[in-house]
Structure 1
């Protein structure tokens, strides 16, 4: 497993990082196995940084660059950089929920050094602007680090979600859910709800069709079939569909994507019969159980939006909620 080195490896000025010992270099990673290994080493990963998600964005016309940041030759962070090109010209660069650090608590100098190195290659006038949703937690400390690295705030709208620790075991997971959530799972089971878990092509195409119908009927935008199909084709073993069957027919479904030792709820659909059966509660509980059995350590509920009814439902699972630092830019 080898790196494809960028044509001009940049060293970040120690003045940028505030630490004379800090010398951050960047290299490209082309090998899927190597990238998957790096993602698995990140204690706080995010789905858009996974290899398969990058391939999904490639299907939508983005050029993908996967980068490892090295401090004195030691990998310290990674990022998937999306480049939008037209007629041979690079128009914009994008990083979504990255970079990811390999240490659980990187120091400030290392964070600034990594973000400065990213900006040096993809956030200058001659490289096209860089639009970034940093994988840093919301707050003044992150703001300060980003400004030190040379970034400007675009807006405060940011990714919010919640995570559930699956390592506690099935009994503790069940006890950690709200009593109302547990009661609805029991009611679904009493009403004859059955579970089917599948990774085959036909079931995934069924899920994509329901997802497209759901977006059209409810008038919202989300990842489309082209991206999702390419994602699954890249790593079919990491994409699972959970269906609720009633009298032998699927009346609800959820798709979950695994990346490293983490997994995230991605798309779902609940038909009228499924909603009567408390499909959301039944399926989410089955997802938690199955991901735990497969050795997944953390489950992300796939986004939270204050005031949204589906968000209130997810909050009855009592995830540890978090919010990222907003949208930033460099040029």
Structure 2
């Protein structure tokens, strides 16, 4: 087994990542965007008998001047034929060869649920944080099947919004609309006192694409001359990840987000994407948003957590 760090072939990374429906945090553009913002990123490709078996992208920080914390979020990305014993060996080799100064603290957050993890795979590792929850929507289904899978109340709100002739929905890779929506995101972060990735991350992510139209999509709803709601999706391989949304009072009353998400599903399917990752679900702190995501009928999954 060989672990290669440093100058790695981007095309091969993206091909493997796409084939395995890798998460946003393990995509090449995610790493490039963080590098552009001055964040240290290390990437590894793992080979077994001349076959690529895993990818791992680490985001690195120094703590207290002497701790090198390297986080592999929703990774590594595995070839489907890799056994639990091989995964265990890969974790060990990555920890040993990670090119950061001592004392190093490598953290792994597998992109699978606790039930999907074989105890052999994580033998010798300790869970230090509970898992992230999300909803994954299978876009390979037909539109009638996707609509049938919606929660009844969700579908009723969608039908009501779609029957309103005053609501116009658009989905497109518009840089102008993206900047406008990021401005709304800053406003709502300030109003609600919450934090997230810097909004400059999105511009850096889009700039890292050879064709910006393949990196994102903005959905927005209009009534007359007013824009009442918006959503932003980041595209990586065969997957799109929901990044943020906004709606004003009229948008909420008219269920504009239901119409926007449905329009986005149609658009993303048209691009040939196979999975829509709807992002974090937290029914305790964000019950409304969580119910909205769960109402799509996608697969709710709680990841296993973070291991050291």
TM-score, length-normalised on structure 2?
0.90
Residue in 1 aligned with 2:16? Answer: 38
The alignment of Structure 1 onto Structure 2 pairs a total of residues equal to 302
Which of residues 167, 173, 177 in structure 2 aligns to 1:193? 167
> Does the 8 Å contact 2:84/2:120 carry over to 1?
no
Instruction: Measure, in 2, the Cα distance between the counterparts of 1:271 and 1:286.
Output: 19
Residue in 2 aligned with 1:256? Answer: 233
Structure 1: runs of 5+ lacking an equivalent: 1-22
State the shift of 1:29 in Å.
4.9
Which of residues 47, 50, 54 in structure 1 aligns to 2:27? 50
Instruction: Measure, in 2, the Cα distance between the counterparts of 1:227 and 1:127.
Output: 29
Q: Which moved more, 1:127-136 or 1:211-220?
A: 127-136
> Does the 8 Å contact 2:68/2:102 carry over to 1?
no
Instruction: Measure, in 2, the Cα distance between the counterparts of 1:162 and 1:310.
Output: 12
Q: Does 1:247 align with 2:221?
A: no
Q: Does 1:72 align with 2:49?
A: yes
Query: Residue 143 and residue 230 in structure 1: after superposition, are their counterparts in 2 closer, same or farther (change >3 A)?
Result: farther
Instruction: Measure, in 1, the Cα distance between the counterparts of 2:100 and 2:43.
Output: 18
Q: Does 1:215 align with 2:171?
A: no
Structure 2: runs of 5+ lacking an equivalent: none
RMSD between aligned residues: 2.4
Other structure's SS at 2:195 match = coil
Instruction: Measure, in 2, the Cα distance between the counterparts of 1:140 and 1:101.
Output: 13
State the shift of 1:123 in Å.
8.9
Other structure's SS at 2:4 match = strand
Q: Does 1:169 align with 2:148?
A: no
> Does the 8 Å contact 1:26/1:117 carry over to 2?
no
State the shift of 1:144 in Å.
4.8
Q: Does 1:113 align with 2:89?
A: yes
State the shift of 1:251 in Å.
1.0
Residue in 2 aligned with 1:300? Answer: 277
Residue in 2 aligned with 1:230? Answer: 204
Q: Deviations over 1:64-94 (max 9, x none)?
A: 22211111221001011222359x9873212
Which of residues 292, 298, 301 in structure 2 aligns to 1:319? 298
TM-score, length-normalised on structure 1?
0.84
